Amino acid sequence: MSEKSIEISEVGPRDGLQNCAAIMPLAHKRRWIDAEAAAGVREIEVGSFVSKKLLPQMADTAEVVAHALTIPGLTVAVLVPNLRGAEAAVEAGAHKITLPLSASETHSIRNIRRTHAQVIDEARAISALLETLPADRRPHFEGSLSTAFGCTLEGPIEEATILRLAERLMEAGCDEVGLSDTTGYGDPSSMRRLIRAVRGVVGADRLTGVHLHNTRGLGLANALAAYEEGITTFDASLGGLGGCPTAPGASGNIVTEDLVFMFEAMGVATGVDLEALIKCREIVRDALPDEALYGFTPRAGLPLGFRRAAQAAGSGSGA
């Protein structure tokens, strides 16, 4: 019997859709979020407050947030590139905001047009904004260390740079930092090493989540390594949608369906109904017929006799 559990944070409506050529209609976004929440996903990154000219796929984020907030028990997360985005997120009522800080300064400038120093300044300004809010209206503030395991523009990033940026994000007022393998450079060994190193400077309770891509097929292996290091929140995207428009060669996120299957098969509870989750693909396929959807579990189906971790634990014998 296992009492272990982790949280899946679905990022498809943001990270997935921002990399799609077609724009998903608002009605389909609502259906997608409704369906995933009904399947048991408790945190969804529903969009980003960015320039509508740069990412028209995210132009309706405020409307998406408004709808997601009507779902009981759902943590509504958004990405913000700067103070202006954070102000919009606060006005919309998002529960969690994530500010990306690329360890690769070249990528940071290309991605959000900010140097490291400028992103830290934005983090300070966002923190000051949040401090003016009542505690019950203050969103959780995460600083995400993007390209932490390597960059298609700069190559490997010095660990000292990553640790310094993690410290500066916390000093600027972030509640926690996250590690993002934006370009799929990570491997299980580097995953373990960097998690330990960053926790050494910010504390174990200030690094609880990772955002992984499956560019070279190591996404699930990296997720397992992160779990064994004590990470409890894992970003993933339905059907593996996603990538980074400003990092050439950065292909999709780890597949939510495969990630849930791996953990549930291990006896680690996710709270997600896999069959219901897989049905969510129909909504995405209907809205984006030209986009490829990935995942081994949806294609192979669930094994005969498969039981969710909670079900397996509940049926354990006393022998």
Cα distance between residue 62 and residue 190, in whole Å: 37
Overall average pLDDT of the 99-119 stretch: 91
- Show Cβ contacts of residue 54 under 8 Å, excluding neighbours closer than 6 positions: none
Q: How many Cβ atoms sit within 10 Å of the Cβ of residue 195?
A: 21
Give the per-residue pLDDT at 252: 81
* pLDDT at 2 > cutoff 50: no
Q: What is the pLDDT of residue 305?
A: 93
pLDDT in tens, 236-273: 999 999 866 555 554 689 999 999 999 999 999 999 99
Closest-CA residue to 141 (of 79, 179, 100, 97): 97
* 151 in active site: no
**Sequence-ordered alpha helix ranges (H) in the chain:** 26-39, 61-68, 83-92, 105-112, 116-131, 159-171, 188-202, 219-228, 256-266, 274-279, 281-287, 296-300, 309-314
pLDDT value of residue 249: 52
- Binned at pLDDT 50, 70 and 90, residue 318 comes out as very low
Per-residue pLDDT tens for 203-216? 999 999 999 999 99
Phi and psi at residue 19, to the nearest 5°: -100, 5
Catalytic annotation, pick one of 20, 151, 174, 244: 244
- pLDDT for the residue numbered 245: 57
The whole model's pTM is what? 0.94
Report the share of the chain in percent with pLDDT over 70. 93
Q: What is the pLDDT of residues 137-160, one digit of tens each?
A: 999 999 999 999 999 888 999 999
- Give domain 7-314's CATH superfamily: Aldolase class I (3.20.20.70)
The pLDDT confidence band at residue 130, using thresholds 50, 70 and 90, is very high
Query: Using alpha carbons only, what angle is made at residue 260 by residues 275 and 316, rounded to the nearest 5 degrees?
Result: 80
Tell me, what's the pLDDT at 314? 61
Task: Tell me the average pLDDT across 284-289.
Answer: 97
Domain residue spans of the chain: 7-314
